[in-house]
Structure 1
């Protein structure tokens, strides 16, 4: 039985794409001009994608081995561009799909986020979203005058107040406040623009915002909540969640939990779309795809340095210190990404770190095959999980290339559309409305 239609999106940083790939061409040296991502947006809209979501971080990490060498050698978290200014560029070369950028509640003032996102919503005619992160790296905090980030759970408490302030600022202009009445001489009606006078535990903001909210009112809110505190925050505020629980059973459990929490917060469960991160491996035949997957998953020294380097950055634990041929020590803790460390701890149970890395699965489910067979697999997974869609992520060091994008846009997406599984048009005028359509 076919699943209901689901949403399809792409998860990416604004960073060097697939520079080790033989298909990279000149992108390792030119990607910062935005052309690669503009081409990508055109292809994905043609394919029927709902949105592109840009993660972000603002550090050059020396957590792995006490040096920035590994981060810069492999281009893990740097160089990376700010995705926010990219949004209107992408909107100019597309007509319908949405674009989400990341801004951290630990570093940005609420007024700045509210103003930037309202401006972007106007510039894109209602096609932007904000990925809300609390950040997990003290190194990033030290770029903003902080010696250490707040404890994990308190960061979410601060984020809850932060997003409340941002929404109040978006609402500080009533609809119709701009009257542009030449006869009375009023551009804006001052009786419809209101200070918010927020005075809380973490923020004090007078308001009002100095421009009205954009076409969406509140832009789409995106979040990734893995820990219990993160799940509760996401279910309270987000329109879209990105997640990678491993396997259909965990995917279903995660989605059911988020939906139940959303109802507990007085929301309609269908207003929260849970998107699962995948990295489809496509070939002209099943054997081709399996060989590509085998090569991609080879545990080379580059792969070890890349995987452990990324884990070191997100958890703020130096994984270079550990013996790869021994289990992960039991006393390892983090104030960073707690769910990421916990997932790795589960994978290393009864195994050495090297053995766990050999079986590491970064996506929610493995999808390997021809475009037709992978589309069928995605259909089956969504039917089992219940919804709401997939976030495709090209492996950033080797496969995030124009070639891989076209494999998805010209190979997989048409097969999904033929089965009625993804959208064939964008009937609504805004990103949020199209997202809520099914």
Structure 2
């Protein structure tokens, strides 16, 4: 089990019910520290913080809607040691855009964070999509989608070459012979690629995990190929158990072609469960949520504008979605899936029927009902587990960690302890 923090180290439900003391929680680490300790108590494998470098302004060409909604994100990297200091086993993953992090900077940063967390850090690799993000780093526009993944593949190879500049057994710390490290086991990387070059070696000592955990999310063919080649854990959003099974089989087949054992990756499917004391109460919550979603046209248009890089305010709400094939450079699988599901519908109706989040399966009910549904879906779909994608509020944290998790544990679906100290060891032990 993991938790996907969709706004990273940011704001959740600004000024809405159950958002807590919103004014004092903004940029305050305590909410996330409370979350981390709760997740560890509940037996979760990791928490993963999404990130972005922009305040979205594609929709209507302004920042207005984003600023009204409080769509901000603080840098997650400095938060990691604070979360690690209050936990001892939970894996902590932060997002880095391969396009904007030089390989040496990233290799050194995550090596250092792995030491500060005692071997519990991971990096979620994204290529980013908005032109505005690229412009924040000095580019006129972002690179084309598939080229971004070619660059990311080379980026990972460069970073791993730097992590490997200190071979096993290189760190001696031999006081008797006054030898800190074995010079014969520390070497330059001398990585030369089409997009990246780096000399090395790292001026850090080897990571406690060897390599920090690599996480990845990608539904396009290029993204799936990248994950199959490099990821230790993959987060996926596909619609329903049959599609979940197909996705898993596809990734495993790609892994085999790369010479990897499919057991070397944990595929986690996003879910956004609605929990309540009884099934009837949860169903009423679901109806209220869906009613709000139907009326939230601006929010849905803003989301589609952000993930596609196109301004959807220009589309006629009472006409079918125009053919935008080949016109967007954003999250291709998400946009393409929405277009496919919207065929024959006017845009207004398509948005009303849009899934509230990015969950693979709708789930609602009491904790016992939702736990049983998770078990049923996983038996049908295969896979390794789920990523909770609920907004980070103390109410949601409590309902999942103190309601759902105990029910999962009764069924043997979630760990009741951690066998090892490092994230990598624990991730693959259960």
- The verdict on a shared fold, with TM-score over 0.5 as the criterion, is yes
- Picking from 415, 425, 434, the partner of 2:426 is 434
For 1:45-124, list aligned pairs within 5 A: 45-75=40-70, 78-124=71-117
Q: Give 1:299 deviation, angstroms.
A: 4.2
Q: Is the 8 A contact 1:231 1:258 kept in 2?
A: yes
Q: Residues 14-413 of structure 1 correspond to what in structure 2 (within 5 A)?
A: 14-75=9-70, 78-299=71-292, 303-331=296-324, 333-361=327-355, 362-394=358-390, 396=391, 400-413=392-405
Q: Distance in 1 between matches of 2:330 and 2:383?
A: 29
Which residue pairs with 2:3 in the alignment?
Answer: 10
Q: Is this contact kept in 2: 1:50–1:435, CA < 8 A?
A: yes
1:141 and 1:147 in contact (8 A); partners too: yes
Shift of 1:143: 0.5
Q: Cα deviation per residue 1:264-322 (whole Å; 9 max; x = unaligned)?
A: 11111011111111010011111110111111122458732222212211210111111
Instruction: Report if aligned partners of 2:4, 2:387 keep a CA contact under 8 Å in 1.
Output: yes
Match of 1:4 in 2: none
Measure the CA separation in 1 of the matches of 2:104 and 2:183.
20
What is the aligned residue count? 425
SS at match of 2:140: coil
Distance 1:334 1:300 in 2: 25
What SS does the corresponding residue of 1:33 show, helix, strand or coil? coil
Cα pair 1:74 1:306 within 8 Å, conserved: no
How far apart are the structure 2 equivalents of 1:123 and 1:268?
30
Distance (whole Å) between structure 1 residues aligned to residue 97 and residue 293 of structure 2: 34
Deviation at 1:191, TM superposition (A): 2.1
C-alpha distance after superposition, 1:112-138 (max 9, x if no partner): 110010001001011010101111111
- Cα distance in 2 for partners of 1:422, 1:152 equals 37
Q: Which moved more, 1:326-335 or 1:273-282?
A: 326-335
Query: What residue in structure 1 maps to residue 413 of structure 2?
Result: 421
Shift in CA distance, 317/225, structure 1 to aligned 2, threshold 3 Å: same
Partner of 1:5: none
Alignment partners' CA distance in 2, 1:300 and 1:131: 29
Contact kept? 2:88, 2:421, Cα under 8 Å: no
Contact 1:27–1:36 (CA under 8 A) maintained in structure 2: no
CA contact (8 A) 1:167 1:218 kept: yes
Moved over 4 A (4+): 299-302
Is the 2:297–2:352 contact (alpha carbons within 8 Å) kept by the matching residues of 1? no
Show CA shifts across 1:211-238 (max 9, x none): 1231101111100111111111100000
The answer (yes or no) to whether the contact 2:107–2:162 under 8 Å persists in 1 is: yes
CA distance in 2, matches of 1:46, 1:430: 16
Alpha carbons 1:243, 1:274 under 8 Å: kept: yes
Distance 1:355 1:379 in 2: 32
- Higher deviation after alignment, 152-161 or 185-194: 185-194
Partners of 1:301 and 1:250 lie apart in 2 by 26
- What is the TM-score normalised by the length of structure 1? 0.94
Q: State the alpha-carbon separation in 2 of the partners of residues 167 and 191 from structure 1.
A: 19
**How big is the shift at 1:28?**
4.2
Aligned partners of 1:174, 1:228: CA distance in 2, in Å?
A: 34
Shift of 1:25: 2.5
Local SS of the residue matching 1:130: strand
Q: Is the 8 A contact 1:127 1:430 kept in 2?
A: yes
